[in-house]
């Protein structure tokens, strides 16, 4: 693959819960190209979210190499991982995870605040994105006044406001009805095709997985190519 954005080899992650060791990843190898839209499927508990958390710098691997946009994530301190996360990664979750006390717009601006781009006007490109997402007129509402589909679209805007190198979507349609799912998925495909946004998406639904260029399957902490 030419100029990959993610290169993972021999990745292992063991959670320690008290005295018990829970192996979540048992040697994962994966390469993702720049501009690729990758779907990750697999049963519950197979380690998909753990893989995303490591790639996104929310937790550190137990062993193995993870290179994201040229940076090795394996041996970073907490602070370095935080800094990397700010610039390179956007997250979307199944449960939207908007901050409940802030309006949609403030949720977006909060992500911008941590990237250090506080106060600078939003780019023309980002305003186009808000139009694409169809949420411009909903930005001054708090999350509880928004439908699930609207909340997820706000979460997409928030994930992309810092122009991250990769977008990690962990079951983004898991809580949505078919119509809203389709809308979110076509938006992701649009983002990928028009802006060349690299996307990794976890899903249970084969139809959703089909939106990606390529699908990999996780089972018991290992990856298999379809």
Ligand X SMILES: Nc1ncnc2c1ncn2[C@@H]1O[C@H](COP(=O)(O)OP(=O)(O)O)[C@@H](O)[C@H]1O
What whole-number distance in Å separates Cα of residue 119 and Cα of residue 136? 19
Kindly write out the interface string for residues 108-127 of this chain, putting x where it contacts another protein by CB under 8 A and - elsewhere. -xxxxxxx--x---------
Kindly write out the interface string for residues 153-182 of this chain, putting x where it contacts another protein by CB under 8 A and - elsewhere. -----x---x--------------------
Q: Any contact of residue 195 with another protein (CB under 8 A)? A: no
Kindly indicate which of the ranges 25-33, 42-50, 111-119, 179-187 contains the residues binding Mg ion, using the contact rule CB under 5 A.
Answer: 42-50
Nearest to 53 by CA among 20, 15, 19: 15
What's the min distance (Å) between Cβ of 110 and another protein? 6
Q: Any contact of residue 50 with Mg ion (CB under 5 A)? A: no
Query: Which positions ≥6 away from 176 have C-beta within 8 Å?
Result: 148, 149, 152, 184
58 vs 76 by CB, closer to ligand X? 58
Nearest to 183 by CA among 114, 132, 110, 116: 132
Instruction: End-to-end CA distance of the chain: give it in Å, rounded.
Output: 17
Give the β-pairing of 198-202 and 166-170: parallel
38 vs 117 by CB, closer to another protein? 117
Contact 46, 221 (CB under 8 A): yes
Q: Any contact of residue 145 with another protein (CB under 8 A)? A: no
Nearest to 152 by CA among 194, 91, 205: 91
Q: Any contact of residue 95 with ligand X (CB under 6 A)? A: no
Residue located via tokens 């290992």: 222
Q: Quick one: what does residue 20 bind among Mg ion, ligand X, another protein, none, with the CB cut-off 5 to 8 Å set by partner type?
A: none
Kindly write out the interface string for residues 47-76 of this chain, putting x where it contacts ligand X by CB under 6 A and - elsewhere. xxxx--------------------------
What whole-number distance in Å separates Cα of residue 196 and Cα of residue 36? 8
Binding residues for ligand X, rule: CB under 6 A, are: 15, 17, 22, 24, 42, 44-50
Binding residues for another protein, rule: CB under 8 A, are: 49, 53, 56, 58-59, 78-79, 82, 85-86, 91, 93-95, 97-102, 106, 109-115, 118, 158, 162
């Amino acid at each position: 693959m030419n100029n990959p954005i993610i290169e993972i080899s021999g990745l292992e992650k063991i959670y320690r819960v008290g005295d018990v060791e829970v192996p979540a990843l048992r040697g994962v190898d994966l390469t993702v190209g720049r501009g690729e839209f990758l779907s990750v499927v697999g049963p519950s508990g197979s380690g998909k979210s753990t893989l995303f958390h490591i790639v996104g710098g929310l937790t550190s691997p137990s062993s193995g190499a993870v290179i994201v946009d040229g940076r090795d994530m394996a041996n970073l301190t907490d602070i370095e991982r935080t800094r990397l996360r700010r610039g390179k990664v956007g997250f979307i979750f199944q449960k939207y995870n908007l901050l409940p006390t802030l309006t949609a717009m403030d949720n977006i601006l909060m992500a911008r605040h941590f990237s250090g781009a506080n106060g600078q006007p939003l780019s023309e490109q980002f305003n186009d994105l808000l139009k694409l997402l169809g949420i411009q007129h909903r930005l001054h509402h708090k999350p509880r006044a928004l439908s699930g589909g609207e909340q997820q679209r706000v979460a997409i805007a928030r994930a992309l406001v810092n122009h991250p190198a990769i977008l990690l979507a962990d079951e983004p349609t898991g809580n949505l009805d078919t119509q809203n799912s389709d809308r979110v998925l076509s938006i992701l495909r649009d983002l990928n095709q028009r802006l060349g946004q690299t996307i990794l998406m976890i899903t249970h639904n084969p139809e959703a997985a089909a939106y990606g260029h390529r699908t990999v399957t996780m089972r018991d902490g290992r990856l298999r190519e379809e």
